[in-house]
């Protein structure tokens, strides 16, 4: 952020004042709202809003130039910003991520117990043989995810704006130039999450602007770029894979490729679980073939890996042969991504090998 530094010749050795930061952010097209002095949360609503709780969409305050309802009141109007910070010059600065088209990867560095392996990188199995000694926080999990995708670690990405938080975490700012409308999540969530201790700030959330001072310290831009770079494609695909899409207009109306009947014929009646095994096989193969309707951003590799892992468990439990499993997976992969056989085969064989260590026993279906 270069512009705020020029505000006031007597401030050369100090943080830029909050109004300068707010004005600069708004000038970039990033709607701004105030944060309570010394905190990273919005100030309280007005007394009328407090007395009669209601949804932000039904509130007249933002239209009247008041800051009620946090990021819902965010604005680009420099006059409104000047009024807000005239009322309280100690306000901090928040940026509404969704309207700004921002996706911010929020890497935490909390000291806490490492969760179960299936919570470290949701949707990506980490076998017991993998040594996780030294894995302690979000810096490690986002680096692990990047390594698995053969991508650069975002925490070291000097091509984009990175902001050190007072707690030792890191905000990595990216601009999303697509219409994917990603949503927020927390890295401790049992549902949607990118990685353990890695939060996502996007639609439905806000981020603290660099230069903001709280009781805990200052949000400080690191050396490197002062503007967000485009969101890397691999991170975009991971966000799709982990369920961060807000909506996909028209997606459900698209024709979904069918799973061949030979998938059912390939299942062996092992342990009385034929029907259950068929349902599992159909589901995971459908996840892969459905990627044919989305040329990119569908999280294809993750879905293929997950499918191969699950099918490997079916093979190990005796529900179908290894040869049949590999062929079914390869056929499904070719339906979705016909031009990358070598990549698909490598993902399938790796997933089958990992899944075979965890037999998937399915009981007899109850009618």
Same-domain check for residues 162 and 263: no
Least confident of 58-67, 116-125, 209-218, 282-291: 282-291
44: left (phi over 0), alpha (psi -120 to 50) or beta: beta
Q: Structurally, how many domains does the chain consist of? A: 2
At which of 206, 241, 276 does a domain end?
241
Pairing of strands 92-96, 206-208: antiparallel
Among the candidates 241, 268, 291, a domain finishes at: 241
Q: Where are the beta strands (DSSP E) in 142-266?
A: 162-164, 170-175, 198-201, 206-208, 213-214, 217-218, 220-221, 229-230
Q: Are residues 201 and 327 in the same domain?
A: no
Same domain, 140 and 175: yes
Query: Based on the domain organization, do 161 and 137 belong to the same domain?
Result: yes
In the 8-state DSSP scheme, what is residue 108?
-
Clarify whether residues 201 and 260 are in a common domain. Answer: no
Are residues 263 and 223 located together in one domain of the fold? no
* Same domain for 283 and 200: no
Entry pTM: 0.64
Structure tokens at 19: 């109004």
Domain co-membership, 273 together with 218: no
Q: Are residues 177 and 267 in the same domain?
A: no
- Measured CA to CA in angstroms, residue 59 lies from 51, 72, 73 at distances of 13, 10, 10
- Output the six-digit token pair for 254: 């698209």
User: In this structure, is residue 71 part of a structural domain?
Assistant: yes
Residues 225 and 258 in one domain: no
Domain that holds residue 288: 253-355
> What is the per-residue pLDDT across 310-336, written as a single tens digit (0 to 9) for each?
999 888 888 888 888 888 898 888 877
User: pLDDT tens digits for 247-304?
Assistant: 643 333 333 344 455 555 565 544 445 666 777 887 788 778 777 655 555 578 888 8
Boundary of a domain, candidates 215, 241, 267: 241
226 and 140 share a domain? Answer: yes
Terminal C-alpha separation, the chain: 64
Contact, 347 vs 309, CB < 8 A?
no
């Amino acid at each position: 952020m270069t512009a705020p530094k020029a505000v006031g010749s007597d401030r050369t050795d100090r943080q830029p004042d909050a109004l300068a930061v707010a004005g600069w952010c708004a000038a970039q097209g990033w709607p701004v709202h105030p944060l309570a002095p010394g905190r990273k949360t919005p100030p309280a609503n007005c007394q009328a809003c407090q007395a009669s709780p209601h949804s932000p969409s039904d509130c007249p305050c933002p239209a009247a130039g008041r800051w009620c309802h946090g990021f819902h009141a965010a604005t680009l109007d420099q006059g409104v910003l000047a009024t807000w910070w005239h009322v309280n010059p100690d306000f901090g600065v928040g940026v509404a991520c969704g309207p700004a088209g921002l996706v911010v990867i929020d890497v935490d560095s909390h000291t806490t117990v490492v969760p179960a392996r299936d919570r470290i990188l949701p949707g990506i199995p980490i076998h017991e043989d993998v040594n996780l000694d030294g894995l302690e926080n979000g810096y490690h999990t986002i680096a692990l995810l990047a390594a698995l995708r053969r991508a650069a670690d975002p925490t070291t990405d000097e091509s984009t704006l990175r902001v050190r938080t007072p707690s030792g975490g890191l905000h990595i700012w990216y601009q999303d130039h697509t219409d994917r409308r990603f949503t927020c999540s927390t890295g401790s969530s049992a549902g949607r999450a990118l990685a353990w201790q890695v939060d996502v700030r996007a639609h439905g959330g806000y981020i603290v602007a660099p230069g903001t001072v709280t009781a805990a310290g200052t949000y400080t831009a690191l050396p490197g770029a002062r503007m967000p770079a485009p969101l890397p494609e691999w991170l975009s695909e991971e966000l799709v894979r982990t369920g961060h899409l807000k909506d996909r207009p028209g997606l459900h109306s698209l024709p979904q490729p069918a799973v061949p009947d030979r998938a059912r014929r390939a299942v062996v009646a092992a342990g009385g679980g034929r029907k259950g095994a068929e349902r599992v096989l159909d589901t995971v193969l459908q996840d892969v073939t459905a990627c044919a309707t989305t040329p990119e951003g569908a999280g294809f590799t993750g879905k293929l890996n997950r499918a191969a892992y699950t099918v490997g468990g079916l093979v190990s439990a005796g529900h179908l042969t290894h040869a049949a499993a590999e062929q079914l997976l390869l056929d499904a992969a070719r339906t979705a991504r016909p031009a990358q056989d070598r990549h698909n085969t490598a993902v399938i064989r790796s997933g089958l090998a990992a899944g075979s260590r965890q037999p998937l026993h399915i009981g007899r279906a109850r009618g």
